[in-house]
Amino acid sequence: MFKFDKKKLNTLEYYQILDVERLTGIKAHTIRIWEKRYALIVPHRTATNIRYYDDAQVKKILNVATLIANGIKISKVAALSPTEFNKKLEEQFANTNNSNVNYISYINDLISATLAVNETEFEKTFQLITTKLGIYEAMLNVVYPFLTKVGYMWTVDKSSSFQEHFATAIIRQKIMVATDGLKPKKEKNKQFLLYLPPDEWHEIGLLFANYIIRLHGHRTVYLGQNVPYESVEKLLSLIKTDYLLSFYVLSNSQANAHNNLVTILNSNKNVHLLLAGNQTFIDELHLPNKRYSAVNSVQSLLAYL
């Protein structure tokens, strides 16, 4: 992969064509056709003639993909003036109904708003999808796919950290508000203790799990990010807990995780451990099967509710 000289290329973010393919879902071959046949995008070129794209161009490709996903042919899209193009996007945004929800359009809208760091547009899309779908369906069908797509940029340093914080901060706030709005259940069912281990900061999955568990009438104790194992063990000695739920995404010390989790399980014979996140990392912890289960989807979490 070639590297950009950030000093020469100002402050914008730039992407190779395969980065754009992963982000937009549009094949590189198709993007080249759009360029040559329809002149929809004019990519930048390096000194060695390699294509690259800036945030605005990626946003344009996302918007084209949205119109095509809603049944408009590429030839018709290419013929639209800038004003007509924006009008079509507004019409698609306004006309989607519950019986014909186009998740791709909403995912693309969230990505575009994130690239532009446009809080108004991000809030507008998020409000629309949660109104139409509810927070549960919106998270499953729009927000998680969105996070998966833009997560690629963040993991290979294709997107500035402020864009990551911008998007996740809004989503985090929305899930917390939705969780606070749940009415407490009178019956006392299972109790879950939720936390992220040391040096884990990606909280969206844990927050959504907390929402799902409470939505189903169970109790949770939520500790949040970067929690020392010692704190978890101490709390378990003070409160009755049925399930301990945690996510491992960026962790790199399997020996440390293994030793601490085994210690916790040995000290708390009635606690069942649920782990989500990097499945390869989790599988290689070699934890006792009867005391531990992998949670690799919402459906697998629901099995414990």
**CA 249, 161, 196 angle in degrees (round to 5)?**
30
Domain count, the chain: 2
> What is the secondary structure of 107-165 as a DSSP string?
HHHHHHHHHHT-HHHHHHHHHHHHHHHHHHHHIIIIIHHHHHHHHHHHHTT-S-HHHHH
Q: Are residues 173 and 36 in the same domain?
A: yes
Instruction: Report residue 159 as tokens.
Output: 């997107």
45 and 151 both lie in a single domain? yes
pLDDT tier at 299 (50, 70, 90 boundaries)? confident
146 plus 251 within the same structural domain: no
Among the three residues 143, 177, 211, which one is the final residue of a domain in this structure? 177
Whether residue 146 sits in one domain with residue 51: yes
Residue carrying structure tokens 């909403």: 106
| Domain assignment present for 120 | yes
Q: Are residues 52 and 201 in the same domain?
A: no
Q: How far apart are CA 263 and CA 200, in angstroms?
A: 20
What are the pLDDT digits (tens) for 227-250?
Answer: 999 999 999 999 999 999 999 987
Query: Are 170 and 238 part of one and the same domain?
Result: no
Q: Is the domain of 132 the same as that of 190?
A: no
The residue type found at 50 is I
Assigned domain for 2 exists: no
pLDDT digits (tens, 9 = 90+) for 126-179: 998 998 888 899 998 899 888 877 765 555 454 456 777 888 899 999 999 999
**Amino acid symbol at 209:** A
Q: Are residues 207 and 157 in the same domain?
A: no
56: domain CATH number?
1.10.1660.10
Whether 121 and 36 share a structural domain? yes
SS3 273: strand
Q: At which of 177, 204, 233 does a domain end?
A: 177
Residue 5 lies inside a defined structural domain of this protein: no
| pLDDT score, position 4 | 45
Would you state the pLDDT for residue 1?
A: 40
Neighbours of 110 (CB within 10 A): 26
pLDDT in tens, 51-88: 888 888 888 888 888 888 878 899 999 999 888 888 88
Q: Is residue 148 part of a domain?
A: yes
Residue 19 falls inside a structural domain: yes
Cβ pair 176, 204 in contact under 8 A:
no
Q: 170 with 188, same domain?
A: no
pTM of the model: 0.76
Q: Which of 134, 155, 177 is the last residue of a domain?
A: 177
Name the band, by pLDDT with cuts 50, 70 and 90, for residue 263: very high
> Does residue 155 share a domain with residue 34?
yes
pLDDT interval class at 14 (50, 70, 90): confident
- For the chain, what is the mean pLDDT? 84
Does any domain span residue 125? yes
Q: Is residue 172 part of a domain?
A: yes
Residue 275 within a domain: yes
Residue 22 and residue 137 share a domain: yes
Indicate the pLDDT class of residue 225, thresholds 50, 70 and 90.
very high
CATH code of residue 277: 3.40.50.280
Q: Which domain holds residue 283?
A: 184-302
